[in-house]
Structure 1
Amino acid sequence: MDKGQAIAFYVTISCITFVMSKIFIALLLYKRWKRRHIIYEDGISGGKMIMFKSPATKSLKSDAFLKKTLKLNNKDIIGSGGHGIVYKLALSDSMTFAVKRLNRGSAERDQGFERELEAMGDIKHRNIVTLYGYYTAPHYNLLVYELMPNGSLYAYLHGRSNEKVLDWPSRYKIAVGAARGISYLHHDCIPHIIHRDIKSSNILLDENMDAQVSDFGLATLMEPDKTHVSTIVAGTFGYLAPEYFDTGRATVKGDVYSFGVVLLELLTGRKPTDEAFMEEGTKLVTWVKTVVQEKREEYVLDHSLGSCPVNEVNGVFSIALKCLEPEPAQRPTMAEVVKVLEQIRSNSNVTDS
């Protein structure tokens, strides 16, 4: 064997070894994926359900779960929105889930489903709702979530049939929890996640009234070295940052602005697009800013709160207005928001002592 043949031989062996190693790694990763997931096949509708292995799904029986899921109807509906209908799936008194259905047929709907899977697949955080699995079928997709027994923050603040009033400690706790969840998306996830639809109806409340950020149908992934992602303007009127309309650029500072609006909802008990504001040609943000500039914060505070610790209320008002700065660069990061909110309660406790 001459020198040229020897080189060719070694190159061939190296290529084969490289390819075999890649196949071996792929098989290991697939086996690891299989260990983390439970796959249910549905031969009737041609669908496939994949559940992530967790303590909550450990005792699930595949046939019973799949049959119950496919039998969901209008009586099981617990909510609806622009991204789908949400059902309550009860397997027993102690095992319940929330199932969101997204009909297929449009690129926007399919993209919303893919975004939620991409954003939620590996997230584990106490202030972000847990995704347990999903179901794909020819005409619709389902997302299986942890059920939040106390519904949404929007329902508590603005729901007509809800007679319960959130006291100040509960509102403060919700603000801190939601901030922690959003901060995790912005700073701890790789790639970073821009939610793009932060609002009170997407902040759910568990049995302990802890906040859980939900609905990632508009979420956008952003590499750490990027400052923005160019997108079609989407979200909910009243919560969107003003620069988003002009640039079409989604940034983490847009989420900060939306969270500032949620803080105003917690403080005032008013909707961002309250009918009274619409009649006057304004909105919650401009109304609050005007009143606060006149040093009349107590005028905008939700009257159902009764007596509240003044220092804490003023501190939350202050951070809310910083989140709502017209210039994005002047807004704090969500990590800074969390730090300030936690300090407000800490300082208040020191003062009380």
Structure 2
Amino acid sequence: MGKPRTRSRACLPMLRAAADVLRCLLFAVAMAAATVGADSSAASPVILATVCGARTAPNPEGFDVSFVNTLELIYQNVTRSGFGAAASGSGNDSVYGLGQCLAYLSPTDCQLCYAQSRVKLPHCLPADGGRIYLDGCFLRYGADNFTAAASDTGDAAVCSNDTAPSAPAFAAAAASLVRNVTASAPGAKGYYYAATASASAMPSGARVYAAAQCWRSLNATACAACVASARNRVVGRCLPGAAEGYGLNAGCVVRYSTQPFYLPANAGGGGGSSTRHIIIVVFASVLSAMAAVGIAFIWTRMRRRRDHLHHDDMDGSGELIRAIAASQLGFRYQELRKATDDFNQINKLGQGGYGSVYKGVLPDGREIAVKRLFLNTRQWTDQFFNEVKLVSQVQHKNLVKLLGCSVEGPESLLVYEYLCNTSLDHYLFDAFKKNALDWERRAEIILGTAEGLSYLHNASEIRIIHRDIKASNVLLDEKFRPKIGDFGLARNFMEDQTHLSTGLAGTFGYMAPEYIVHGQLTEKADIYSYGVLVLEIITGRKNHNSMASSAEGLSLMALIWKHYNAGTLMELLDPNLREECSEREALKVFNVGLLCAQASPNLRPPMWKVVEMLGRGDRVLPRPTEPPFIDVKGSNANSYGSGSSFSLKSNSDKSPFSTNQLSVSGVQAR
């Protein structure tokens, strides 16, 4: 494609304008819902305080791995019971952790609060300790076992800027109520007690609310000492002037407020709640219709003005649109709509975080796969152009071929070659269909996927990191040959770059620990994902769902590592393969998977080396080191589906994550 910088580039600003219209209208819906009394749980929990340790971990890389393991262990328990304490690693790499939600949070709000704390706490690294207090939950990690500590030098009080009503009367009522709840909490269920009281001389109906809670890792004596310390601190520092105050200790939280923070948002609402919901639904429906009209209007103007406007977009996307329209890559929207029978659900092949995929048949009889992008955020333009730019520049037998796209209709569509056997996960994790995956086919899938990744990392004109390698993104043709698909999250990587710093995106269970903790992306993240995929292929088990099927409640990584050390890996080989391959062949594949999934990114082999290892020959392979996440125990709470991808921005206090539970990554999406 030529790049004449003076040519018109009107399309991208109009595309972004359409996204902005929808974004603004949806924001108006949210604001209207809040105005008429929407559920307060929609708001992200407020961060009250963050305390990071002064010492640096002696071995930051090993400490990071243990940190991720510990927080995952805590998550398994917090989602089940609201509390979790865990430890992983040894020596200088030991990490202890504790997380707890306050008892008045709903299970959903507890998960949201924990997710926010889990995103923010890694900002303390490489410090060997840190804690974060949110409005409703607490999370802490450290190199030493602190779980029985009631108080320490990090204890604090946080007072609101709002002035208390009738300060003297309020202060007396608040102090008395705080003394009451802190005296009762050590003997209450779960060390939690809340109460309310009125105060004389306060405005009619005015009340004060208070609650105290200790972490479940304390005993009753330590709890009593903790709440007493927190009570003295919050009463001494926040009263009489502040309308709200928190005593934040190592082992407990004490809070008072003029607001009924521990009561359900709709308590006492009765019929008013239903009325508010009706108003919200009606208002949202009206604004959604306005959004549709607005987008249609902008798209119409875009088509009319494409040949007349001469704006200059910075990334050349307008030029890309014109080049597509003038080339054989351009498809008419109506043609694709007809090919898919108006996107009939019968033709739906799958769904991801940024769009759905449908089978279509063109007038000439060619079968195609049409990816229909969601228009629910401004990100859709970025994902569309990212996928078109990257995929159109790479050609390899193990990469899905982009046939073209449509940019002129009311939504953006990508057109790919149709692969009749859909994706690997449809066969690998189905008890009946997996019979089609004999040893020869699985070996070809493992090698072909490695060759495709090696091309992306090393051989293409632009280095590309896929970011979402997993079984559902490996597609299979009529002969079960693999092709890597879904480049919506992919990023190109300049030759002089050591890493990319990005918002977190991908699928839990396949994401490398260094990427989860630091958000620093290299091709080593793809290699880790590939290693997990290899181990899934040879065992026939899902990595993230494997705990439920393990008698010991171990993750797939933990199970494989245990059998590796015991010399019994063949017990984990998929039973369908035991008569089809030699022990030498199977152990080689196990070894390659473990080498790619090592905790340290520096030890993972590059993909070209992986291809070499998988080739013929009896060369001796290196001994792998311990993978991450082997301490994760099973739980009935499986909130992160193994097939769902997600995208998470860790630099915003407003939204701890952006998830999409449609494909199923993920925190489920894609």
Report the TM-score range of the alignment, normalised by the length of the smaller protein.
Answer: 0.7 to 0.9
Q: Identify the residue that residue 105 of structure 1 maps to in structure 2.
A: 376
- 8 A Cα contact 1:150 1:209, kept in partner: yes
Report the structure number with the largest CA radius of gyration: 2
- 1:169 matched to 2:147? The reply is no
Q: Identify the residue that residue 343 of structure 2 maps to in structure 1.
A: 72
- 1:305 matched to 2:577? The reply is yes
1:95-133 residue CA offsets vs partner (Å, 9 max, x unmatched): 100001112231233322222112111211100000011
Q: Identify the residue that residue 249 of structure 1 maps to in structure 2.
A: 520
Which stretch has the larger CA shift, 118-127 or 328-337?
118-127
Measured in 2, the distance between the counterparts of 1:88 and 1:177 equals 24
Which stretch has the larger CA shift, 244-253 or 68-77?
68-77
Structure 1 counterpart of 2:384, one-letter code? F
Measured in 1, the distance between the counterparts of 2:508 and 2:354 equals 15
1:225-279 residue CA offsets vs partner (Å, 9 max, x unmatched): 1121001111111111111111101110010000001100111000011253588
Q: Identify the residue that residue 235 of structure 1 maps to in structure 2.
A: 506
- 1:340 matched to 2:613? The reply is yes
RMSD: 3.3
Measured in 1, the distance between the counterparts of 2:554 and 2:408 equals 44
Please point out which of 586, 595, 608 is paired with 1:322: 595
C-alpha deviation, 1:309, in angstroms: 1.7
Q: Identify the residue that residue 529 of structure 2 maps to in structure 1.
A: 258
- 1:127 matched to 2:105? The reply is no
Measured in 2, the distance between the counterparts of 1:51 and 1:169 equals 42
- Say how many residue pairs are matched: 310
- 1:294 matched to 2:566? The reply is yes
Structure 1 counterpart of 2:447, one-letter code? V
Measured in 1, the distance between the counterparts of 2:499 and 2:477 equals 32
- 8 A Cα contact 1:312 1:345, kept in partner: no
Structure 2 counterpart of 1:292, one-letter code? Y
User: Against the structure 1 CA distance between its residues 68 and 299, is the aligned structure 2 distance closer, same or farther, given a 3 Å change threshold?
Assistant: same
- 8 A Cα contact 1:51 1:133, kept in partner: no
Which stretch has the larger CA shift, 312-321 or 154-163?
154-163
- 8 A Cα contact 2:340 2:347, kept in partner: no
C-alpha deviation, 1:165, in angstroms: 3.2
User: Against the structure 1 CA distance between its residues 278 and 66, is the aligned structure 2 distance closer, same or farther, given a 3 Å change threshold?
Assistant: closer
Which stretch has the larger CA shift, 156-165 or 314-323?
156-165
Structure 2 unaligned residues grouped into runs of 5+: 9-298, 304-320, 621-670
- 8 A Cα contact 1:190 1:224, kept in partner: no
Map 1:55-70 to 2 at 5 A: 64=335, 67-68=338-339
C-alpha deviation, 1:184, in angstroms: 0.6
User: Against the structure 1 CA distance between its residues 178 and 137, is the aligned structure 2 distance closer, same or farther, given a 3 Å change threshold?
Assistant: same
Which stretch has the larger CA shift, 301-310 or 142-151?
301-310
Measured in 1, the distance between the counterparts of 2:336 and 2:385 equals 23
Please point out which of 440, 449, 460 is paired with 1:189: 460
- 8 A Cα contact 1:52 1:132, kept in partner: no
- 8 A Cα contact 2:531 2:594, kept in partner: yes
Structure 1 counterpart of 2:573, one-letter code? L
Match of 1:133, SS?
strand
Match of 2:505, SS?
coil
Structure 1 counterpart of 2:456, one-letter code? L
Match of 1:99, SS?
strand
Measured in 1, the distance between the counterparts of 2:572 and 2:480 equals 24
Measured in 2, the distance between the counterparts of 1:345 and 1:250 equals 33
User: Against the structure 1 CA distance between its residues 108 and 283, is the aligned structure 2 distance closer, same or farther, given a 3 Å change threshold?
Assistant: farther
Measured in 2, the distance between the counterparts of 1:329 and 1:156 equals 33
Measured in 2, the distance between the counterparts of 1:210 and 1:108 equals 32
C-alpha deviation, 1:205, in angstroms: 0.5
- 8 A Cα contact 2:429 2:541, kept in partner: yes
- 8 A Cα contact 2:369 2:417, kept in partner: yes
User: Against the structure 1 CA distance between its residues 86 and 62, is the aligned structure 2 distance closer, same or farther, given a 3 Å change threshold?
Assistant: closer
Measured in 2, the distance between the counterparts of 1:121 and 1:215 equals 13
User: Against the structure 1 CA distance between its residues 278 and 253, is the aligned structure 2 distance closer, same or farther, given a 3 Å change threshold?
Assistant: farther
- 8 A Cα contact 1:103 1:139, kept in partner: no
- 1:117 matched to 2:382? The reply is no
Q: Identify the residue that residue 541 of structure 2 maps to in structure 1.
A: 270
User: Against the structure 1 CA distance between its residues 67 and 272, is the aligned structure 2 distance closer, same or farther, given a 3 Å change threshold?
Assistant: same
- 8 A Cα contact 2:457 2:607, kept in partner: yes
User: Against the structure 1 CA distance between its residues 282 and 218, is the aligned structure 2 distance closer, same or farther, given a 3 Å change threshold?
Assistant: farther
- 1:224 matched to 2:515? The reply is no
Measured in 2, the distance between the counterparts of 1:68 and 1:25 equals 33
Structure 2 counterpart of 1:289, one-letter code? W
User: Against the structure 1 CA distance between its residues 267 and 25, is the aligned structure 2 distance closer, same or farther, given a 3 Å change threshold?
Assistant: closer
- 1:26 matched to 2:4? The reply is yes
Q: Identify the residue that residue 256 of structure 2 maps to in structure 1.
A: none
Structure 2 counterpart of 1:334, one-letter code? M
TM-score by length of 1: 0.78
Which stretch has the larger CA shift, 104-113 or 169-178?
104-113
- 8 A Cα contact 1:165 1:304, kept in partner: no
Please point out which of 383, 398, 414 is paired with 1:143: 414
Please point out which of 547, 555, 563 is paired with 1:283: 555
Measured in 2, the distance between the counterparts of 1:136 and 1:69 equals 17
Measured in 2, the distance between the counterparts of 1:310 and 1:278 equals 24
TM-score by length of 2: 0.43
Match of 1:343, SS?
coil
Measured in 1, the distance between the counterparts of 2:420 and 2:401 equals 14
Measured in 2, the distance between the counterparts of 1:304 and 1:227 equals 42
Measured in 2, the distance between the counterparts of 1:226 and 1:71 equals 44
C-alpha deviation, 1:137, in angstroms: 5.1
Structure 1 counterpart of 2:569, one-letter code? E
Measured in 1, the distance between the counterparts of 2:434 and 2:447 equals 24
Measured in 2, the distance between the counterparts of 1:302 and 1:163 equals 10
Measured in 2, the distance between the counterparts of 1:219 and 1:68 equals 28
Structure 1 counterpart of 2:567, one-letter code? K
Q: Identify the residue that residue 175 of structure 2 maps to in structure 1.
A: none
